[in-house]
Amino acid sequence: MAKILVVDDAKFMRLTLSNILDKANHEIIGVAENGKEAIELYRKLNPDLVTMDITMPEMNGLDAVKGIKKEFPNATIIMCSAMGQQKMVVEAIEAGAKDFIVKPFDEGRVLDAINRVLS
């Protein structure tokens, strides 16, 4: 299964997503609380997939996607957004994100998105 980096400023969301992925036999190789941390961890860990929150302190998910894609053009990133963030999701997709999942997380939708981008 995939080695995944989970990025979200909310501990509850990181845990929720990690539990869903863990149950599906994916390996959580790192967690980050902001975009800056996400880029640093991506360099160190080289994950198969990143789940990236949009709204975070220090550096938002959109800037983190651009930063990761600039250095690693083949990076696979799925955006995690709350309702009402469609404009930012579109920008993230244009910046190179492969898909998005909406909070609160639906287990089936999360796993569908991951299977789709990894296949």
Residue 106 has which token pair?
């639906």
Instruction: Note down the domain range covering 68.
Output: 3-118
Are 78 and 98 in contact by the 8 Å Cβ rule? The answer is yes
What's the CA gap between 65 and 79, in Å, rounded? 9
Residue 88 is predicted with a pLDDT of 85
Estimate to the nearest angstrom the gap between the alpha carbon of 90 and the chain centroid: 15
Residue 82 is predicted with a pLDDT of 83
Residue 84 is predicted with a pLDDT of 74
Query: How would you write the pLDDT of the chain (119 residues) with one tens digit per residue?
Result: 899 999 999 999 999 999 999 999 999 999 999 999 999 999 999 999 999 999 999 999 999 999 999 999 999 999 998 877 788 888 999 999 999 999 999 999 999 999 999 98
Query: What total number of domains does the chain contain?
Result: 1
Return the axis-axis angle of helices 35-45 and 61-71, rounded to nearest 10°. Answer: 30
DSSP-assigned beta bridge partners for residue 77: 50
What CATH number does residue 100 fall under? 3.40.50.2300
